Amino acid sequence: MFSRLIPGIALIAIGGLIYLMFGSGVSPDVQATFGMNPSYQSQAIPIPNLVLPVGTSIGILSLAVIFLGGWQLARGIRSTSIVIGTIAFAFVTAFLLWATQGKSFSLVGMLSSSLVRATPIALAALCGVISERAAVINIAIEGILLISAQAAVIVATLTHSLYLGLIAAVLIGGLMAGIHAVLSVRFKVDQIVSGVAINIFAVGATSFISARFLEKNINALNNSGTFPMISIPLVSKIPILGPVVFENNMIIFIMLFLVFLLHIVLFNTPWGLRTRAVGEHPKAADTLGVNVFLVRYVNVILSGMIAGVGGAYFTIGSVGRFDEVMTAGKGFIGLAAMIFGKWTPIGAFASSLIFGFADSLQIKLQILSVPIPSEFLGMAPYIVTMIVLAGVVGRALPPAADGQPYEKH
């Protein structure tokens, strides 16, 4: 009986807290305007903006959480995800309402920016999934992102072709991952050490090249332009969903395609089965005739190529130039997304969306001049990562042989 009581009371308390934090002190006639149409020239059918009365809406959200608490007390709720999901939704929405009171805020813009910012994280997470499903830990994602970003922009600027830049990024990503594979599989170096070594090398090499060549030759080497936004014909007309999902640049479409492709391949093809077998029980796979070393090499190199696309996002998919250490930890956040997504591509994508949302939220909040210092908002993605890891990793199980070099006897 107590096990129902405490979460129930906690939920009611949280509901009340939400109202106290955000709803109290709001004058009753204040409204928040949420923009539903993209600010750029879009194919989407325009719809009217969502105008909500702040105080009432926050009240409703708090009541929803309190109601959930009551339900928990009376009947008990089995699904923790529903509870956490509702609390998160209520908290964030109430926070947005509070921050937007009296002003206007582009909701579509934020959703779109969440997906865009989630892209490198998702690609990093996919890289991690493919590698770790074959039981090779890939901490080097950050370094691979950095090197491919630089390669992409240099090649794209030199050849005036963004696609060649993308190919260069993919190839270099595969190469760096190949080095990691050789070190981990052939030389049996501790996979985390080899990953960290590649990261250090990547920071040094890219900063070296940036200082030596890029700074003096910006127009010849570091000015590639970016992939233009593409509007997919029919579906982009859908309000809200259309512009957010179907009006993006090439790299984001590649990411979405990869998420679904990899999920299908990993779980529905013989290749995927071999990969997962090697990751769970390499000895058994070996006795069945699977070449464990080959599968690991192939997987790690493929994961590096995916990370190459992720690296390309930073330069030719975003700002069109390379700045030193521009990846700012996205590789590691991708690892957290992979863990949160339980080592599946779609799960990794969903968690990347959450991180992308946190990332874009802190930027939008700075624009809204919310009375929280921008530096604290900047910490948000990292704190969210730590909370996610703390809450989830104990329960999420990595592939059983993760991190262990395979010894063939």
Partner 1 sequence: MDANEVKPKKIKPSEPEKPDAKADPKKHSRVWRTLAMPLLAVLTGLLVGAVVIIVTDPQVIAAYKNFFQDPLNALAKTAESIGTAYGALFSGALGDPVRIFRAFQTFFASGDSEPLLRAFWPLTESLVASTPYILAGLAVAIGFKGGLFNIGAEGQFLMGALASAWVGYTFNLPWYLHLPLALLGGALAGALWGAIPGYLKAATGAHEVVNTIMMNYIAFRLSDWLLNGPMKAVGYRPITPLIESTATLPRFFPDPSRLNLGFIIALLVALLVYWLLFKTTFGFEIRAVGANPDAAKYAGMSVTRNFVLIMALSGALAGLGGATQVLGIDHWVGQGFSAGYGFDSIAIALLGKSHPLGVVLAALLFGTLRSGATRMQSMAGIPIDIVSIIQGLVIVFVAAPAIIRWLYRIRVAKTEEIVLTRGWGR
**Which of the stretches 17-25, 154-162, 180-188, 264-272 binds partner 1 when contact is defined by CB under 8 A?**
180-188
Provide the token pair at 178. Answer: 């190949």
Q: Which of 236, 233, 206 is nearest to 222 (CA)?
A: 206
Report the nearest approach of partner 1 to the CB of residue 151 (Å): 16
Q: Residues 311, 331: contact at Cβ < 8 Å?
A: no
Nearer to partner 1 by C-beta: 174 or 398? 398
Instruction: Report, in Å, the least distance between residue 382 CB and partner 1.
Output: 4
| Residue 335 interacting with partner 1 (CB under 8 A) | yes
Please spell the DSSP secondary structure of 273-326, one letter per residue: HHHHHHHH-HHHHHHTT--HHHHHHHHHHHHHHHHHHHHHHHIIIIISS--TTT
Which stretch, 23-31, 68-76, 352-360, 379-387, contacts partner 1 (CB under 8 A)? 379-387
For residue 146, give the nearest of 96, 205, 227 by alpha carbon.
205
Does 212 interact with partner 1 (rule: CB under 8 A)? yes
- Closest to partner 1 by CB, 73 or 189: 189
Q: Considering the rule CB under 8 A, would residue 378 count as an interface residue with partner 1?
A: yes
Interface region with partner 1, contact rule CB under 8 A, candidates 3-11, 193-201, 230-238, 255-263:
193-201
Among 332, 340, 355, 357, binds partner 1 (CB under 8 A): 332
Q: Which two tokens stand for residue 254?
A: 């590649």
Shortest distance, position 373 Cβ to partner 1, whole Å: 5
Tokens 């989830």 belong to which residue? 392
List the interface residues with partner 1, window 144-163 (CB under 8 A). none
CA distance 87 to 62: 9
Minimum CB distance to partner 1 smaller for 10 or for 205: 205
- For tokens 């779609």, what's the residue? 346
293 makes contact with partner 1 (CB under 8 A) = no
Q: What is the DSSP string of 61-81?
A: HHHHHHHHHHHHHHT----HH
Length of the chain: 409
> Which one among 213, 257, 260, 271 touches partner 1, defined by CB under 8 A?
213
Binding pattern for the stretch 98-137 against partner 1, x by CB under 8 A and - elsewhere? ---------------------------------------x
SS3 state at 352: helix
Within 228-269, residue ranges assigned H as helices are 241-246, 250-268
What secondary structure letter does DSSP report for 132? H
Binding residues for partner 1, per CB under 8 A?
137, 139, 183, 187-190, 192-194, 196-205, 207-209, 211-213, 328-329, 332, 335-336, 339, 373, 375-376, 378-379, 382-383, 385-386, 389-391, 393-394, 397-398, 402-404, 409
